[in-house]
Structure 1
Amino acid sequence: MKNVRKEVLEAIKPSKKEKGQLQKSITATLKKLNGSLKRAKAIIGGSGAKGTFLKNQKDADIFVLYEKEFSHNHNISDELEKTIKSLFPIYQRIHGSRDYFQVKNDVLFEFVPIIKIRRPSEAENITDISPLHSAWVLKHASEKQKDDIRLLKAFCKANHIYGAESHIKGFSGYVCEILIIHYGSFEKTLRSASAWKEKTVIDPAKYYKRKNVFMAMNASKIQAPLIIVDPVQESRNAAAALSADCFHAFKDQAKKLQKKPSASFFRQKDMTKESIIRIAKNKPVFIVKANLLDGKDDIVGSKALKVFTFLKAELERGGFVLLESQHQFQGSAFMMWFILEADPIPASFIHKGPPLSLPKHVAVFKKRYPSAKPVNGILQVAVKRKFPRAGDLFKKSISSPYNKDKVKQIQQIHIA
């Protein structure tokens, strides 16, 4: 692993020159912004503030801190827009729980208005806590651990499980930082992750040393397969957005990397028709690619994900057993594939009805299915399938009006 670590860090760690250029651009922008702000102060946030960003990172978060008293009488997004508009001729207002702004020059800057707080309980929006996250990471992460954080981020990115956005539901940058600091290193994180069970609890600040997190934390925060208690906010699960698919993908890839260390685990690989067919191993496989709509990644990604969920549900409702169903975002495209147990399937299936002990329900069932007969005290009937061949069902599902406003178009890559 030592040689792999060295090779990967050379590829993902920014050079002193790159760090200097990014810092120069950030410093100039902060100076420009702070020179015009009257009731707020701009600071660097995100991985730029923590020193955990990757090579070729061309974006930076700028947090604009407003005093709490001022925010009570003013819309701080509107206030920030006045300043942004006066300084940058071209900008974009991004709508969210609290609107923020994007300006693209040599670096894509995101200007996020937040309330200046001292403790998490004062926050009115999750972004208000971000400077506290940065402070915690800076306080606890050594320089070596910052490299470990980079390794973990690159590992997650390569396996398409990086980011807490709703269309990804993976590991956020902050979660990667917490994991490395908690376990001590990248290698120890891999070893520990390989043994994770669903509902594993990670509590770096030991808030729940003497109490049950599942009894104390809000139920909505503990639905995810992994509970990472935010070290600066004990009521929050930092991994609340994590999906079961990303959780298990992380575990599986961690095991594989430890078994056979290779830099290839850190290189992002887009799935192709050929690679998916190899995975299918002669099983029926259906592959489609959709072009994403224009717009904010989180929104267009969520819409595309609905198409995937719809196609998967249609196959399952049609009686087909899915061995694997996966998707992958590839720039402006969205690849989906479905591997089936069998195709075609029997032209009819046995539909079970109510037990004979429920006469009212029996009457309704027999009215709908006159040929139904009792088997072991339960009504059953053979029902003819509309689509015994998955290809016919799949083509119909792809052209469904449901998909029209969610992606630009869907292209059939492979149906067999």
Structure 2
Amino acid sequence: MNPSLQGVITDVLREVVPSQEEKDAIRRLQDKLLTRAYAVVKQRYSIEPVFTGSIAKGTWMAGAKDIDLFLMFHERVPRDELERTGLDVAKQIVQDMGGRWEIAYAEHPYLRAQIEGHKVDIVPAYDVKDASKIKSAVDRTPHHVRYIQSALDKNLLNEVRLLKKFCVGAGVYGSDLKTEGFSGYLCELLVVEYGTFEDVLRAVVQWRPGTIIDVEEHHAEASLKKKFPHDPLVVIDPVDPNRNVAAVLSLENFLVFIRRAREFLQEPKFSAFFRLPVMAPSMEELQRHLDERQTRFVFIRFSTPDVLDDVLWPQLRKCTERVRTLLEENEFEVLRTGIWSSDVATVLVIELLVDELPAIQKRRGPSAFDAASSKSFLDHYRGYNVFLEDGFWAVEFKRKNRNAMELLRAFLGEGESELRAKGVPSYVAAALHEDVELATGEHVARLLRRFDSLRAFMYNYFHRNLV
């Protein structure tokens, strides 16, 4: 390892490795939780409480005060009983420890609590013996913990912390469907496969889309290429060989990660591990960017649907693509799009080269020497201005949609069922039907003044630069 890289890593480790005081505080709280959990469950239930997550695996980063306590039920317990009893037990545990709680929802409800300054998730799950035969998505988690505890050399725990922090700095950490990045478990598996943090990065710069990692060698590579033909990275789950741990990773984040790894190996920097928050720029600065681009921005604002991010963000992306397709089908060229979303409002950002088109539209037809296609084309456009151009038929006719705002207004003004029929996902369709604002020009500026985080988002939009 070169001295420069070693120096940076030493400095970063001081930031990411929990202090002994922090470790002791977490262990004390875990002991209390486990004691209380056993006291509650032994009264009525056959439930085994176990810790999961990065704390249980020993790979958590300093300052991360998240504890995951799973309540493991026998797989024969009915789903409704697991949910009802699991919440009852969780509430009793939190109440006995003087904490605060709220019910949160993933595939099924669980309890999110605050106890002694720590966030504690208490999650009911099935104690399945085979992780490939889970009854709910969370059932795999204890298997992941046991695998990492057995497969990851204890001397490499800090290498995982470095890799996680590097992903944070690159903006690609998180397996939620908003981020579409690297999960903590994926980082752990990369260290199991390659070794040290430096070894991981040196392997990463050789990656190409379709890279396959099968730590336990469950499959032949050819079968995996066939099974996951479109995933940029395939990392087979050691405890569930039919699952790609990197399934949510987007191609963009895959490429960003490779780029950042190459940059870091060439020039190690402490700053590569840290992502500074973007402060909302002034309206004057944003207005200058808007004016300099000489494009047309359209903001589609609506109230954010009250659903989980993992439900919301795929729908937002699909809706944005549907709007892009509508515009491009009508010959409005879309330069770029973006999505900003807060708890209360969402804005789909559409940047057009022009928002007004000429009255006349030309469409090119088949070769004049293609008799059958020529007849079909001429029959279809009978009565229009049809002519020959370089040996091909062409036709001119009055454009149906000249103005992008009018086109979007007509589309977004449809009823909820009509929007869904036209490809807008359910929760977004309902939100658009309930409350939608179509903004351009000064109305865009008004929305930017209203939301600080939207201004910060647009600053990032204007400064996307990987070089």
TM-score (norm 1): 0.80
Matched position secondary structure for 2:209: coil
Q: Is the 8 A contact 2:169 2:274 kept in 1?
A: yes
Matched position secondary structure for 2:165: helix
* Structure-2 residue corresponding to 1:232: 239
Aligned residues: 405
The amino acid that maps onto 1:358 is S
Q: 1:30 aligns with which of 13, 30, 34?
A: 34
* Structure-2 residue corresponding to 1:80: 86
Q: For residues 210-231 of structure 1, what are the alpha-carbon distances to aligned partners after superposition, in whole Å with 9 as ceiling and x for unaligned?
A: 763234x4xxx55421111112
* Structure-2 residue corresponding to 1:185: 196
* Structure-1 residue corresponding to 2:224: 213
Structure 1 residues 109 and 383 mapped into 2: Cα distance closer, same or farther (>3 Å)?
farther
Provide the alpha-carbon RMSD of the alignment: 4.0
Does residue 253 (structure 1) correspond to residue 263 (structure 2)? The answer is no
Matched position secondary structure for 2:363: strand
Q: CA deviation at 1:56?
A: 1.7
* Structure-2 residue corresponding to 1:103: 113
Q: Gaps spanning 5+ residues in structure 2: where? A: 415-427, 438-443, 449-454, 463-467
> How far, CA to CA, are the matches of 2:254 and 2:289 in structure 1?
21
> How far, CA to CA, are the matches of 1:359 and 1:393 in structure 2?
34
Q: Is the 8 A contact 2:304 2:341 kept in 1?
A: no
Q: Identify which range, 324-333 or 15-24, moves more after superposition.
A: 324-333
Matched position secondary structure for 1:63: strand
Q: CA deviation at 1:339?
A: 6.7
> How far, CA to CA, are the matches of 2:16 and 2:380 in structure 1?
63
The amino acid that maps onto 1:214 is K
> How far, CA to CA, are the matches of 1:122 and 1:262 in structure 2?
44
* Structure-2 residue corresponding to 1:92: 102
Does residue 129 (structure 1) correspond to residue 122 (structure 2)? The answer is no
Matched position secondary structure for 1:174: helix
Structure 1 residues 408 and 24 mapped into 2: Cα distance closer, same or farther (>3 Å)?
farther
Tell which structure's C-alpha radius of gyration is larger. Answer: 2
Structure 1 residues 273 and 316 mapped into 2: Cα distance closer, same or farther (>3 Å)?
farther
* Structure-2 residue corresponding to 1:386: 402
Q: Identify which range, 29-38 or 95-104, moves more after superposition.
A: 95-104
* Structure-1 residue corresponding to 2:11: 7
> How far, CA to CA, are the matches of 2:289 and 2:267 in structure 1?
19
Q: Identify which range, 149-158 or 167-176, moves more after superposition.
A: 149-158
* Structure-2 residue corresponding to 1:118: 129
* Structure-1 residue corresponding to 2:465: none
Q: Identify which range, 42-51 or 135-144, moves more after superposition.
A: 135-144
Q: Gaps spanning 5+ residues in structure 1: where? A: none
Q: Is the 8 A contact 2:235 2:246 kept in 1?
A: yes
* Structure-2 residue corresponding to 1:405: 431
Q: Once the two structures are aligned, what percentage of the paired residues are identical? A: 21
The amino acid that maps onto 2:103 is R
After the TM superposition, which residues 14-413 of structure 1 pair with which residues of structure 2 at under 5 Å, given as runs? 14-37=18-41, 38-69=45-76, 71-72=77-78, 75-88=81-94, 91-105=101-115, 106-209=117-220, 212-215=223-226, 217=227, 222-271=229-278, 283-284=293-294, 286=297, 296-302=308-314, 304-305=316-317, 308-309=320-321, 312-313=324-325, 316-317=328-329, 318-322=331-335, 325-326=337-338, 342=353, 347=358, 350-353=362-365, 357-358=372-373, 361-363=376-378, 365-366=380-381, 370-375=384-389, 376-381=391-396, 384=399, 386-387=402-403, 405=431, 411-412=447-448, 413=455
Q: Identify which range, 163-172 or 251-260, moves more after superposition.
A: 251-260
Structure 1 residues 233 and 276 mapped into 2: Cα distance closer, same or farther (>3 Å)?
farther
Matched position secondary structure for 2:21: helix
Structure 1 residues 134 and 233 mapped into 2: Cα distance closer, same or farther (>3 Å)?
same
Q: CA deviation at 1:40?
A: 0.6
> How far, CA to CA, are the matches of 2:436 and 2:120 in structure 1?
28
Q: CA deviation at 1:103?
A: 1.8
The amino acid that maps onto 1:141 is L
Q: CA deviation at 1:51?
A: 0.9
Structure 1 residues 306 and 212 mapped into 2: Cα distance closer, same or farther (>3 Å)?
closer
Q: Is the 8 A contact 1:351 1:383 kept in 2?
A: no
TM-score (norm 2): 0.72
> How far, CA to CA, are the matches of 1:408 and 1:19 in structure 2?
49
Q: Give the number of the structure whose residues are more often helix, by fraction.
A: 2
Structure 1 residues 96 and 354 mapped into 2: Cα distance closer, same or farther (>3 Å)?
farther
Q: Is the 8 A contact 2:334 2:350 kept in 1?
A: no
